[in-house]
A and B are shown apart, each in its own frame.
Chain A
Amino acid sequence: MTEEPTSKSKLTVRRYEDRPVGCPPGSDPVAMTKEEREAHRDTVERLKELVEKAGKGDKKPLPEIRKILKESPDLAWQLLDVGRVAEWRYTEMMLKEEDFGKKEVLRCQLAAMREVIAGDNPSPLERLLADRIVLSWLQIQLFEDLYASSLSKSMTIAQANYYQKRIDHAHRHHLSAIRTLAQIRKLGPAVQINIAEKQINTMGEGIPGS
């Protein structure tokens, strides 16, 4: 955890914080109620529909996309909540119950990876994508580990196919996450958006039709 920046230092370089984007210090993202989770899922689903429409060249969904992003500043950290739960469950699955030391080492390694990938002064979107990269990397490790350990046992063709399919799938997620982060970085600060707290919102400035 780092100190909360003062309003004056918003633009100064902040150290990467290993906590969900937009999640205020001390809050517990896992404490979301079922209704809140459902509402969050609905928001993402609606956003997905709009993005698909806009992706086909339709400009009509753009105002609603902007409205959702503006009105859901906690969207990013709720996503990270899912990510942290998944990460915890993956480490539990990969290591034996009593391997507390190894689990801690793995969690530290994942946090370090997030920090390196997110880089200096990352935007919330970059941090979200950094988390996705790390999580998909962890998924590759899990399935490759399961596949490798099954090789020494009698593995059926169905099992081998399943592991291969999952490894391929995880690789695709991983590469897609890296590509998206690279695109966001290439486009630069124009893609800053208010998807989390304390984010400089440049959305609408100089954007045609906004």
Chain B
Amino acid sequence: MSPWERRKRGGRYYTRSRKVNGRVVREYVGGGALGELVALMDAEERQRREEEAAAWREEREHLEELAGLVDELCEAVETVARATLLAAGFRQHKRGEWRRRRD
């Protein structure tokens, strides 16, 4: 929905819409130069937020990739350690202590 509302007697009126308790509430800001100015400020604010969100998405992707490297290593080392223990004749007792297999 456009933030500009067209009036019957002509001219445009700038509005803002936001959600309050799940319902859309429309705030009437103004027309003419004031409406144009507030619309410009809102557009700039929106652009700033979009840029910040994009930067965070990029940073998060980079961090996830970095964390993935360590996750992969930790999982592989754990696998090798467990394999070593199993191969050496041990078994894990109730997901805790490792004990020598008796059979």
Do A and B make up one complex?
yes
Q: How large is the interface on A (under 10, 10 to 19, 20 to 34, 35 or more residues)?
A: 35 or more
| Cβ-closest chain A residue relative to B68 | A86
Query: Contact: A44 with B76, CB < 8 Å?
Result: yes
Query: Contact: A156 with B56, CB < 8 Å?
Result: yes
B43 within 8 A of A: no
Question: In the bound complex, how far is the Cα of B65 from the Cα of A142, in angstroms?
Answer: 14
Are A176 and B90 CB-contacts (below 8 A) given A89-B69, A162-B60, A209-B103? no
- Output the least CB separation between B86 and chain A (Å): 5
Number of interface residues of B (CB under 8 A): 35
Query: Contact: A54 with B80, CB < 8 Å?
Result: no
Interface centre among B63, B80, B91, B92 (most CB of A within 10 A): B80
B88 within 8 A of A: yes
Nearest 3 CB-CB pairings of A with B: A207-B89, A86-B69, A66-B87
What are 25 inter-chain pairs, A to B, with CB distance below 8 A? A48-B75, A48-B79, A51-B83, A57-B91, A62-B86, A66-B87, A69-B87, A75-B80, A79-B73, A83-B73, A86-B66, A90-B66, A128-B80, A132-B73, A132-B74, A135-B73, A158-B56, A162-B60, A166-B63, A169-B71, A170-B67, A177-B74, A187-B88, A191-B85, A193-B87
